[in-house]
Amino acid sequence: MRLTGRIVFAIRAVAELVGNDGYLPLDVIAERQDLPADYVRSAMSDLRRAGIVATRRGRVGGYRLARPPDQVTLADIIRAVDGPLTVVMGERPDDLEYAGAAAGLEDVWLAVRQAERSILEAVTLQHLTTGHMPPEVTAR
């Protein structure tokens, strides 16, 4: 997995919404996380389409979580802004076939994919903002 700036910015921006009862303006989110507003706007647009954040226009508008923070995983956020979690050479690992001396490589890719998924699907925004990580993270 490659953690792009887009992914990290999206996670930071949506984490800023945890604990806010109302809508938080884009410029406030960007300022609090020291992020470029254009990147935050782009990420929030993807997150809105994925049903992770809700928006409201106007003077009291902005962004808020559309679901409780314990129901939004890092995997949800990554998929919303970047697509599938694991890609090997531009393809999904289970779409590749290996033979001969490299036949075991398929098992490695599947194990990497499973480990990545188990962590990213276990960690929620609630875990992230409280610092209390699930066993999938602390056991490593």
Work out the mean pLDDT of the chain and round it to a whole number: 88
pLDDT at 96: 62
Neighbours of 61 (CB within 10 A): 14
pLDDT category at 42 given cuts 50, 70, 90 is very high
What pTM, to 2 d.p., does this model score?
0.84
HSE value, Cβ hemisphere, 13 Å, CA-based, for 123: 20
The number of angstroms, rounded, from the C-alpha of 49 to the middle of its chain's C-alpha atoms is 14
Count the domains in the chain. Answer: 1
Tell me the C-alpha distance between 135 and 140, whole Å: 8
pLDDT at 139: 73
CATH number, position 49: 1.10.10.10
Greater pLDDT, 120 or 95:
120
pLDDT at 114: 86
| Selection from 54-58, 86-90, 102-106 with the highest mean pLDDT | 54-58
The two three-digit tokens of residue 112, written as one number: 């990497």
Q: Which range of residues forms the domain containing residue 133?
A: 5-138
pLDDT at 86: 65
pLDDT for residue 32 is more than 90 = yes
pLDDT category at 89 given cuts 50, 70, 90 is low
pLDDT category at 76 given cuts 50, 70, 90 is very high
Contact 62, 24 (CB under 8 A): yes
